[in-house]
């Protein structure tokens, strides 16, 4: 948009006027961006830098005095079995959330991307989970999954299956939370994928049909490649959100049972706000930050090559 305007001016205006125009535009852009940048600076950049700084210190009980300890917090972190358990739980969690959410989201999107009678109803139903706040969803799931007399167990028993300790057994708690998390994210995934599907030109399918391609081949050779930029974006977002999932864990299991749901970010939260080890928590935050950064970079490089851009 701006480029188009500029090239128009290139043709029309002499050089000095163009410079002034550019300068004015730059100022305008800067002014427009300022509020957002300020917010980002105060609420994101500064705390991030602060965490880096804090991670090289050790504090007294109330955090009113601190000493420089270099990499001691990081060294302790690498030796801490609780930290590694949390890292393991985090990746297991993501390994369940991401495929489940992508698959369900894609199925939902494929069903409602093309208009049919009553499509609005189905779209609303699929997207509804997005409108439910995490806290509300977590409390509701807490009811459904209650070990004794919860709805899910009652259904299981009604069809003759044994009740399961969904959130009270260390084996089941993390997968259960992962599915709840995927459920909550399906709506958002479906919205993005639906938008992606709708951008695929209809004439491609028409051409394919004329050439005699069936539904499966159309999906494999048109839908999937054309959708891949969106799929890539959604996959990236899902990995990142699943690695930083907090609310549902806090409300449903508080990291238990037996720390099976103490994921990385929950470990950080507990070390900071319960154990009052802010600098140690800061070191773990910095490590998580670096991992997220690395993952984002890897995904951009690796997935980026196979993505089909129009």
Partner 1 sequence: MLRRWLILAGIALGGLGLAQQRITIDFWHSMGGVLGEATEALVKDFNAAQNRVTVRSQFVGSYDDGLNKLRAALQAGGQGRPNVIQVYDIGARFMADSGAVLPLEDLARANNFDLSQFVPQPRNYYTVDGKLYGLAFNSSNPILYFNAQALEQAGIPYRNTWSLADLEAAARKLTIKDASGKTTRYGLSIPIDSWFMEQFSYNSGQYFCNNENGRKARATEVTFNNPAAVAFLDTWARLVREGVAANTGRNWADSQSLFAQGNAAIAVYSTASLTGVLRQVGNRFPVRTAFYPYLRERNGTAIGGAAVYLIRGFSDEQNAASWEFIRFLLRPETQAKWIIGTGYFPVVKGVTELPSVRQAYVRQPNYTTAVRQLETSKVNTASAGCLMGGFTEIRQIVQSAIEEALRGKPAQQALDEAKQRADQVLARYNASVRP
Site residues, partner 1 (CB under 8 A): 58-65, 142, 146-149, 165, 167-170, 253-259, 270, 273-276
Nearer to partner 1, 170 or 247 (CB): 170
CB 36 within 8 A of CB 270: no
The separation between the first and the last C-alpha atoms of the chain, rounded to the nearest angstrom, is: 19
Query: What is the nearest approach in angstroms of partner 1 to the Cβ of residue 100?
Result: 24
Which among 252, 263, 286, 288 is positioned nearest to 51, based on CA atoms?
Answer: 286
User: What is the sign of the dihedral through the CA atoms of 283, 288, 291 and 297?
Assistant: negative
Nearer to partner 1, 51 or 227 (CB): 51
Query: What is the nearest approach in angstroms of partner 1 to the Cβ of residue 28?
Result: 37
CA angle (248 as vertex; 244, 249 as ends), nearest 5? 75
Nearer to partner 1, 165 or 175 (CB): 165
Nearer to partner 1, 149 or 201 (CB): 149
Query: What is the nearest approach in angstroms of partner 1 to the Cβ of residue 150?
Result: 9
Query: What is the nearest approach in angstroms of partner 1 to the Cβ of residue 162?
Result: 8
Q: Are strands 66-68 and 57-59 parallel, antiparallel or unpaired?
A: antiparallel
Query: What is the nearest approach in angstroms of partner 1 to the Cβ of residue 261?
Result: 11
Which among 88, 127, 147, 22 is positioned nearest to 266, based on CA atoms?
Answer: 88
DSSP state at residue 261? T
Nearer to partner 1, 108 or 281 (CB): 281
- Rg of the chain over Cα atoms, rounded to whole angstroms, equals 25
């Amino acid at each position: 948009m701006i480029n188009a305007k500029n090239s128009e001016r290139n043709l029309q205006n002499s050089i000095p006027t163009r410079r002034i125009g550019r300068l004015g535009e730059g100022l305008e852009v800067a002014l427009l961006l300022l509020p957002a940048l300020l917010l980002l600076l105060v609420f994101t950049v500064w705390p991030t830098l602060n965490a880096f700084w804090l991670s090289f210190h050790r504090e007294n009980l109330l955090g009113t005095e601190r000493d420089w300890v270099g990499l001691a917090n990081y060294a302790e972190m690498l030796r801490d079995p609780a930290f590694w358990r949390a890292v393991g739980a985090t990746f297991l969690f993501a390994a369940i959330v991401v495929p489940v959410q992508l698959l369900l989201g894609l199925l939902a999107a494929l069903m409602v991307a093309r208009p049919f009678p009553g499509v609005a109803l189905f779209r609303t139903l699929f997207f509804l989970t997005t409108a439910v706040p995490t806290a509300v969803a977590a409390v509701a799931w807490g009811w459904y999954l209650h070990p004794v007399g919860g709805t899910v167990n009652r259904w299981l028993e009604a069809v003759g299956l044994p009740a399961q300790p969904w959130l009270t057994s260390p084996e089941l708690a993390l997968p259960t939370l992962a599915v709840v998390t995927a459920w909550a994210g399906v709506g958002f995934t479906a919205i993005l994928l639906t938008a992606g599907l709708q951008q695929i030109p209809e004439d491609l399918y028409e051409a394919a049909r004329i050439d005699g391609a069936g539904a499966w081949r159309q999906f494999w050779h048109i839908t999937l490649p054309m959708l891949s930029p969106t799929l890539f974006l959604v996959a990236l977002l899902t990995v990142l959100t699943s690695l930083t999932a907090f609310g549902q864990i806090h409300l449903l299991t508080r990291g238990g049972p037996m720390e099976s749901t103490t994921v990385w970010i929950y470990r950080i939260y507990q070390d900071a706000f319960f154990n009052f080890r802010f600098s140690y928590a800061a070191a773990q935050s910095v490590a998580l930050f670096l991992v997220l950064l690395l993952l984002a970079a890897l995904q951009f490089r690796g997935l980026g090559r196979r993505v089909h851009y129009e």
